[in-house]
Amino acid sequence: MNVPVSITQFAKQAKSLPLNKIIKSQDFKIKELSEDALISEADEIITPSNFGTELDYLTRFVMLADDHAFDLANIELKRYLDHGLITPAEFIRVINKEEKLGRLTENISEVDDIPDKVFRLALDICAWEVAFRTNKYIKPTVYPDSVTIRHMKVMMKRIENFFDQFGWPIRDAFIASTKNGYLSGDGDYLLKNTIVDLKASNKTTMQIYWVRQLLLYYTLGFYNHFNDEKIDRLMIFNARTDMVFYINVTKIDKSALEFVNDAAEKQSTVNEKLIKQMMEID
């Protein structure tokens, strides 16, 4: 049974958050940070999903020096160890990769100076974060080649430029959650008064799925006072197209925010009942 316990999963349920109850993609303003900026996915050899995960991961670990970048990966890694799904030697092997990644990047000051080995090590660790989110570990068999790495470096530099223009994060991986905690997620970046979700998509227009994601991160993270910061703006930065999509919170009708919050809380109540029933069956 697929229970939508994450914001990412719930945002894909169009019937729960219909267009006539929320804001539209067209309500977002657009800013292009460079012209003809689209970087094609065609020549990249890892999946778009893995590319996006690794881009966010390296941004947090290398550019933001986030000491907690490994946390979700390590939670899942430890769970696999505790359940006998991996051996202690396999557990140590991943921890050693994390430490090696730290040594390789500790003195890096320019994105272009990041060695290729970092991108391959990062994918191995990212696989455990993906496992945390999907409940399934898939060992990487294809690693970033020179073209894929070059593309990722360009996008990392675009992210750096984006932060220079709009402000550097005061927090990353902030938590958004319903009251009972059975529907939650971690947003990408919190700038001063701005929620930012990072994308590496070939889409050049604001997607309704992204709209739902931002509304859920805002309502479950700040509108409901789960976090204390005052948010004035919701924003997508798509590093693949070097485009920014944003809306001021004052432009969003309160009824839309209340609807999103209520829909999430309702789903969370259903999730709690379903999960407890499954636990009783087990």
**Residue 3 pLDDT:** 85
pLDDT tens by residue, the chain, 282 residues: 578 899 999 999 999 999 999 999 999 999 999 999 999 999 999 999 999 999 999 999 999 999 889 999 999 999 999 999 999 999 999 999 999 999 999 999 999 999 999 999 999 999 999 999 888 999 999 999 999 999 999 999 999 999 999 999 999 989 999 999 999 999 999 999 999 999 999 999 999 999 999 999 999 999 998 999 999 999 999 999 999 999 999 999 999 999 999 999 999 999 999 999 888 865
**Residue 251 pLDDT:** 97
Tokens of 15: 């019937």
Output the pTM of the full model: 0.94
Cα separation, 32 vs 20, whole angstroms: 28
Cα separation, 176 vs 179, whole angstroms: 10
Helix H, strand E, coil C: the string for 191-210 is ECCEEEEEECCCCCCCCHHH
